C-alpha cells in the first residue's frame, strides 16, 4: 500500500487500473498476505484449534444445532471476506482489461480464491505448532519485513517502480526454483 499512497480500497483499485496489478509489483507481499489470510481463517494447514486432540472438547462438544451452525458460518464468512480482499488489494479488484463487467470479474476472482482455499484444505497436511511458529516467525516475518523495507526504499528515494517489478519477478523465479529443485526425502526400506 506504500506504492498507492492510500488505504482506501477504491484508490487502490484505481491505481491498479492505471499502473497494473499490485501483484506484479509485490509478489512476496501477495503471497504472504494470501498465506496469512489462510492462517487467519484457521484453514488447513493452519487449523490448529481443530486438531484431533481438541475434538472432544471446545466448541465441537459445547455447541450443537443452530449455535454450532452459526459458529461454522462465521468461519466461512471470514473465508469469503479474505477471498474478496485478496483480489481487491492485489489483482485489480473489480476491473479487468478486456470487458467492463465489474460484478462478473469480481465474482470470478473471489470464486477462484474460494476454490484455491478449499483445494488447499482438501490436499494439505496440518502443521504442528513448532512448524507453524518456525514458518511464521522464522520465514514469513523476515521476508515481509525485508519486502516492506525494499518497497519503502523505492518509494522514499522516488526510484522507478520497474525496480519492484524486476525484484518481484526475481522472487517468483526464486520461489519456483525452490519448489522445483528442493531436495526430495529419501524413501525408506524395501517394499514392492
- The pLDDT score that the predictor gives to residue 59 is 62
121 grid coordinates: 484444505
- Residue appearing with cell numbers 467492463: 100
3 state SS of 140: helix
Contact predicate 16/22, CB 8 Å: yes
Question: What is the reported pTM?
Answer: 0.82
Q: How far apart are CA 31 and CA 34, in angstroms?
A: 5
Per-residue model confidence as pLDDT tens for the chain (192 residues): 788 989 999 999 999 999 889 999 999 999 999 998 888 877 777 777 666 555 565 666 677 788 878 878 888 898 899 999 999 999 998 888 777 888 899 999 999 999 998 888 888 887 777 888 888 899 899 999 999 999 999 999 999 989 999 999 999 998 888 888 877 776 666 555
The b/e string for 71-101 (b: 16+ C-beta within 10 A; e otherwise) is eeeeeeeebeebbbbbbbbbbbbbebeeeee
Contact predicate 128/51, CB 8 Å: no
Amino acid at each position: 500500500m506504500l506504492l498507492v499512497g492510500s488505504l482506501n480500497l477504491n484508490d487502490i483499485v484505481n491505481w491498479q487500473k492505471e499502473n497494473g496489478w499490485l501483484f506484479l509489483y509485490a509478489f512476496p507481499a501477495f503471497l504472504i498476505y494470501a498465506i496469512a489470510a489462510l492462517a487467519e481463517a484457521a484453514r488447513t494447514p493452519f487449523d490448529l484449534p481443530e486438531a484431533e486432540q481438541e475434538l472432544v472438547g471446545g466448541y465441537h462438544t459445547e455447541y450443537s444445532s443452530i449455535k454450532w451452525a452459526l459458529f461454522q458460518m462465521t468461519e466461512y464468512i471470514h473465508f469469503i471476506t479474505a477471498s474478496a480482499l485478496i483480489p481487491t488489494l492485489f489483482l485489480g479488484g473489480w476491473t479487468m482489461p478486456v470487458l467492463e463487467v465489474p460484478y462478473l470479474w469480481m465474482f470470478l476472482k473471489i470464486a477462484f480464491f474460494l476454490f484455491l482455499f478449499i483445494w488447499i484444505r482438501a490436499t494439505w497436511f496440518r502443521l504442528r505448532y513448532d512448524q507453524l511458529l518456525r514458518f511464521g516467525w522464522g520465514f514469513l516475518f523476515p521476508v515481509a519485513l525485508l519486502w516492506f523495507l525494499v518497497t519503502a526504499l523505492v518509494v522514499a528515494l522516488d526510484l522507478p517502480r520497474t525496480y519492484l517489478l524486476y525484484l518481484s519477478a526475481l522472487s517468483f523465479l526464486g520461489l519456483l526454483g525452490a519448489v522445483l529443485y528442493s531436495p526430495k526425502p529419501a524413501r525408506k526400506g524395501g517394499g514392492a
